[in-house]
Amino acid sequence: MKFAGQVAIVTGAGRNIGEEISRKLASQGAAVAVFDMDKARGEKVAADIVAAGGNARSFVCDVSREDDIARCVSGVTEAFGRIDMLVNNAAISDNKNMFDITTEEWNKVLAVTLTAPFLMTKYVAREMIARKTAGRIVNVTSTSGYYGRDRATAYTSAKGGLVNLTRSQAIQLSAHGIRVNAVVPNKIGSPVGKAEFDPTRPVVNLVGRPGSPEDLANAAIFLLSDESAFIVGAELFVDGGCSIIMPGNS
């Protein structure tokens, strides 16, 4: 198994992309720390992994709070003894234009979608460095981080920031043998912050279908594995080719 004896943290792991990444990591031998703000969802994912023969534990974590992040990361090292991998997946969206969004809403989206990956990586990387672990970190960005939109003002700003944060993290942590990369989804599974997946949701891409959580999980697993050992600071687009289509050609 690719990840036998290794430990992974996945944020926003109670559903959709985070859930699928957690399941795939566990199926390849990793012990998975399931981070989610929703206690019931996180516990269900962890229980399902254990029932399937894997190793997982749920941690209730509000990633918008630094004290929660510090507590949970410490809890993972106490429970499993090490941290080898981190997937910064948790995010929320605003779906509002600049005149409708409040300052409070703006701050909340940035706290979860941009500041949390900064803090999670900071606390986890400290543990990796202390144990001389050749860690791997994957940030889940978005095509919304590369293009302007007529809504989701805070979300696009946060995801754009996460793209460059990934690059800075990759540079700063490479000296410690820690690789940082990003995956870039577009309309994968259910919309951000929603539990329901609508297979009829319109998509414009070169594949001709909506993306599934498994599509994104496969890419994340690749970047977490030794198969991507020479890939650092990269952004792997998992968008069905939508981002290369010129306006008017679709």
Q: Which of 123, 146, 147, 155 is catalytic?
A: 155
Could you tell me the pTM of the whole model?
0.95
155 is catalytic: yes
Among residues 165, 199, 194, 197, which one has the least CA distance to residue 182? Answer: 165
Which tokens go with 150?
Answer: 């007529």
- Indicate whether 144 belongs to any domain: yes
Is 143 part of any domain?
yes
Does any domain span residue 249?
no
**CATH code for position 224:** 3.40.50.720
250 domain-assigned:
no
Render pLDDT for 29-57 as a digit per residue (tens, 0 to 9): 999 999 999 999 999 999 999 999 999 99
Residue 142, pLDDT above cutoff 50: yes
Q: How far is CA 222 from the centre of its chain?
A: 14
Residue 122 forms part of a structural domain: yes
pLDDT digits (tens, 9 = 90+) for 83-118: 999 999 999 999 999 999 999 999 999 999 999 999
Give residue 114's domain range.
7-244
In percent, the amount of the chain with pLDDT more than 70 equals 94
CA distance 38 to 227: 33
Q: In what order do the strands lie in the sheet with 7-11?
A: 55-60, 31-36, 7-11, 85-88, 136-140, 179-185, 235-238
> d(Cα 9, Cα 50) in Å, to the nearest integer?
16
Domain count along the chain: 1
- Residue 1, domain member (yes or no): no
Measured distance CA(221)–CA(2) in Å, rounded: 9
